[in-house]
A = this chain, B = another copy of it.
Amino acid sequence: MTSRTIIEVPTSGYHDLQDLTPRITAAVRDAGIQTGIASLFVQGSTGALGLMEVERGLARDLPEMLNRWAPPSEEYAHEQTWHDGNGHSHLQATLLGQSVTIPVAEGAPDLGTWQQVFLLECDIRPRKRTVVVTVIGD
């Protein structure tokens, strides 16, 4: 069995971090699949998906680390062509990743207690993100 759900996520701008777990859980429950996997994917090249304990401290720490790993800068070759100020956004999203696969058990995501799925906006302006949830299993 295969189920596909689209989740629309408006973001407020650079490094807005949102816990998607409740909406993903709802999508998985609606799929009616008991055992299998849920593939999560964010469309676009400047949004990131990942797994983390989503709490206020780490929601500040992770963006700060990303600013060290791939700092905002006008020196990127990307800037010299596009002049859109978001070269670091692309690099941050590629580093963190845009696809995550989680297990499904008893019709729900089988995550750890303090483990959530987050969307991190890496672009420098508000965006409307599209997250595709595909559930496959029995």
A96 interface residue (CB < 8 Å to B): yes
Cα–Cα distance between A46 and B82 once the two chains are bound (Å): 31
CB A39 to nearest CB in B, in angstroms, measures: 5
Whether B101 lies near A41 (C-beta < 8 A) is yes
A124 interface residue (CB < 8 Å to B): no
Name the one of B44, B57, B78, B138 contacting A82, with C-beta atoms under 8 angstroms.
B57
A85 interface residue (CB < 8 Å to B): no
Given contacts A2-B35, A35-B4, A101-B99, contact A112 B61 (CB under 8 A): no
A137 interface residue (CB < 8 Å to B): yes
Question: Which residues of A are in contact with B by a Cβ distance under 8 Å?
Answer: 1-2, 4, 35-37, 39, 41, 43-45, 50-53, 55-58, 60-62, 65, 69-70, 76-82, 87, 90-91, 93-105, 110-112, 114-115, 130, 132, 134, 136-138
- 26 A-B pairs, CB-CB below 8 angstroms? A2-B137, A2-B138, A39-B101, A43-B110, A43-B112, A43-B115, A44-B112, A44-B114, A45-B51, A50-B94, A51-B93, A51-B94, A52-B93, A57-B78, A57-B80, A57-B87, A58-B77, A61-B76, A61-B87, A61-B91, A62-B94, A65-B69, A65-B95, A99-B101, A134-B137, A136-B137
